[in-house]
Chain A
Amino acid sequence: MEYLFTIWVIVTLNFLLPRAMPGDPFLYMSADEGQEVARFSEEQRQYYLEYYGLDRPVAEQYLSYLSDLLRGNLGYSLYYNEPVSTIILRRLPWTTFLVIAAVLLSTVFGTILGSISAWYREKWPDKFLFFCLILLSEVPAFLLGLVLLFTFAAGLGLFPLSGAITHFANYSSWWEKLLDILHHAFLPVMALTIARLGGMYLLSRNSMTTVLEKDYLRTAWAKGLPKKRIIFRHALRNAMLPIVTRVFLSLGSLVGGAILVENVFAYPGLGHLMREAVMVHDYPLVQGIFLVVTICVLLANFLADLVYRKLDPRIGDYSGIHGG
């Protein structure tokens, strides 16, 4: 229920916000320096306003917007001249791919580094890792992306400068294509991963440290269990709880990072699309992207809820008491 209400509020805001933005999408009087602008005559402008239903009263537009949404119709893009859902669906997989790859990598490496740090707490490996990762976590992803682009793509020529695949290529097999895609995705994924690594590291270090001080671990030590078993079976399993939650909750913020990184690498994901849509005041497309992103974030929250309950039965009990 809560989730449905949230979605309704978002949908409504989503409808209203672009319309609160000043200026109409077919009025181009000026342009960014050097850019070319199509000249619309007054008549053409009217024609397009009518064509897209923008001349009707707002209430009427709102109702038809809602009913369209229920039928899964996100509207028609003013600029791209295609159904919004088609455009988004084509771009979504690329962003999802980047984000999921970055989440997986940063979680795995963050957790490993965090555990190492917690294990050697206050000794030099801990201090060294702490220093490096704090430093890295302060650098925004797009800046990392630029540095990577200049070093590994432009300087050393190890990776392509832009895009998601080699253009106009003929692949002889599916794995050749896959390799090409991975080759192109490597730097953007690295940028996102490194930018997130610091956060994951701190969280797992913290969590690990707390767990390592717990009584049951002392018991485990006393029992003379092997080191590996203690770390991975006893400690990490319990330390994972906040980490897993964090993974789901941070999906939303990662999309934000992906937007800028995609623009650095001209990567054809939602972020690239979002920038273009905002720049040309394409209401339906902006709405569509926001909606898809918010739904993804809500979905991530919902999953985080579920997983948390599953991992920590006490949460379930509490919500039972409060009638959650």
Chain B
Amino acid sequence: MMISKRYNIARHLLAVLVLVLSSIFLMCGCGAKQAGQAGAGKAKEQGQVDVIRLAGGDWGYPTPYAVYPRGPGGFKMCLIFDGLLERDEKGLIPWLAEKYEVKEGGKQYLFTVRNGVKWQDGKPLTAEDVKFTFDYATKNPMVWGALDKKDIQKVEIVGDRQVLITVTEPNAAMLYKLGMVRIIPKHIWEKVDNPKEFTAPEAVIGTGPYRLTEYSKEHGTYRFEAFDGFWGPKQRVKVIEFVPVSEEVLAFEKGEIDLAGITPDVLPRFQKDPQYKIVKSPAFWGYRLLFNMKDYPILQHKELRQAIAYAIDAQELIDKVARGAAVPGSAGILPPDHVMYNPGVKQYKPDLQKAGELLAKLGYDKLDENGIRQNQKGEKLSFNLLVSSGEVRLAEVLKEQLARAGIEIKVQSVDMKTRDARVRENKYELAITGHGGWGNDADYLRERFASYSKGGALMASAPGTPGYQNEELNALLDKQRLEFNDQKRKELIFKAQEILAEDVPEIPLYYTTGYNVYRPAKYDGWMFMFDHHSLTHSKLSYLERG
């Protein structure tokens, strides 16, 4: 912990220094900046490029088992391995499965495996490979992917190229889970007993558009080359190289990499120059304020939670803490960039008067000498807020805001892992946690807020809401899980967001957005997947689009 703290200080110093020094260099007008630009040539419509370089680092050997669970390693692996379905801007699209059918009310999925697909070693892809993959992944959970051991009941080959998957219980999010599983070749993996340690050269043979031609764990470099026998859309990038960089912005300016993620501070450096294009990422990473209603019954009062929501000024949080690069939280939980976001739900605009009225209704109508509200019995409105050391600033601004409404907040800051452990064990009163995945299938509303979901099915990464119960919401969330008509399901999710916005079982504070900068003259095929915030992570970013 010492080290991480020191490192943090170092990182902050570093950020400041980078800023100062880079502005000095900007003023000096370092002439070498545009070197190497002219040679890149002009890209035609859907033109090809030879090499794209991106910021890398070691994220593991790109197989579905050896890749590291954190970080962007999984997406490098996806360049090599295909799933039955793929994601574009709008949703799921057929990929290794040319079509699919949902049967028996979501109990069964019938995938038709595409003809003429070749593994990178020349052997054809068969339905047998698909069946093998699911059986194998059920026995040995893949590092990457959300499929659970107990999701699948059985996998059968029916007909020539058809695979029928029977799941344990119907769930509208299941298609996504099944579609994202990376299909691995039976002829290679059937002999492998310990998939995590299988890192032979043939372990990276997939059906995907790119082959791994070089990987250095030590230096953190990857080199992917277009696979000539790829079944699908033509690759627009012949070689993708990932190299480690010390300073992303610097490396980008020097032309060492072709795309960089940047912070709002350096935006002005690129905004005016037409050779750069800046893209804002969808906001799928957010902070939320949790209430432990189980152990602190006072939090059971909807009015109290609503009052807190009215007392919070998300825009101020964003300006002060996120330097403007975020979107205010939606009371309906799903972020505005989500495909099922309901823009019509009740939102809590900062309103101290309303907050005061709600709190007075609960009996907290007196103020003590510090301006903290209390009731007739003299009980004060005071809460402990558990945060990790990285969120202290956020917590302090929040504390100020709530104090204006007469609510006292005591900030307890611990390291991230301690916070996570305590949240998991419900040892907190209020807590803030931050994580990604807000663009995922809306079924996460069920995982978080359906009162029955605690325990078994609960993801370790998404704690439920202790003590929160709403039968109507439970019913809705149950129903959307079995609704396979997208439009009808969307209506149910819309309704669920309305209930959540009214009940405020938790408060999403804000969702952060990042910025990316690239040179469109070099390459312009970048795209976001409908549920994901990174341009470089999408396989379609490197392929010709129809």
Q: Interface on A for B, CB 8 Å cutoff?
A: 21-24, 26-45, 47, 51, 79-82, 87, 90-91, 142-143, 146-147, 149-150, 154-155, 157, 161-165, 167-168, 259-260, 263-266, 268, 274-275, 278-281
Contact = CB atoms under 8 A, between A and B. Distances in A.
B365 interface: no
Nearest to A39: B461
B418 interface: yes
B223 interface: yes
A38 B143 CA distance: 8
A80 B60 contact: yes
Contacts of A23: 416-418, 420-421
A94 B501 CA distance: 55
A132 to B, nearest CB: 22
B416 A30 contact: yes
A22 B245 contact: no
Interface stretch (B112-120, B428-436, B474-482): B428-436
Contact of A38 (B69, B245, B433): B69
A40 B69 contact: yes
B436 A155 contact: no
Interface stretch (B13-21, B164-172, B312-320): B13-21
Interface stretch (B80-88, B211-219, B337-345, B397-405): B211-219
B60 A161 contact: no
A161 B456 contact: no
9 contacts: A22-B421, A30-B416, A38-B461, A42-B458, A142-B10, A146-B14, A161-B250, A268-B219, A279-B4
B421 A27 contact: yes
B154 interface: no
B141 interface: yes
Interface stretch (B38-46, B70-78, B356-364): B70-78
Contacts of A34: 261, 285, 436, 512, 514
Interface of B: 1, 3-4, 7, 10, 13-14, 17-18, 21-22, 25, 28, 30, 32, 58, 60-61, 66, 68-72, 74, 141, 143-144, 146, 148-150, 196-197, 214, 216-221, 223, 241, 243-247, 250-251, 254, 256, 261, 285, 388, 390, 414-421, 423-424, 433-437, 456, 458-463, 512, 514, 534
Contact of B68 (A21, A24, A80): A80
Contacts of A263: 7, 10
B254 A155 contact: no
Contacts of A22: 414-415, 417-418, 421
Contact of A146 (B17, B456, B512): B17
Contacts of A28: 69-70, 420, 460-461
Nearest to B432: A30
A89 to B, nearest CB: 10
A260 B420 contact: no
Nearest to A22: B418
Contact of A27 (B74, B196, B420): B420
Contact of B246 (A24, A31, A32, A266): A266
Given A21-B1, A80-B68, A167-B241, A41 B25 contact: no
B417 A42 contact: no
A162 B460 contact: no
B74 to A, nearest CB: 7
Contacts of A90: 217-218
A163 B250 contact: no
A119 B245 CA distance: 45
A294 to B, nearest CB: 14
Given A27-B420, A41-B459, A36 B390 contact: no
Contacts of A163: 219, 243-244
Contact of A43 (B25, B148, B221, B245): B148
A190 B223 CA distance: 31
Contact of A40 (B246, B285, B456, B459): B459
Given A22-B415, A23-B417, A164-B219, A31 B436 contact: yes
Contact of A167 (B18, B219, B250, B390): B219
A91 B223 contact: no
Residue from B61, B218, B250, B437 whose CB has the most chain A CB atoms within 10 Å: B218
B460 A41 contact: yes
B68 A29 contact: no
Nearest to A281: B417
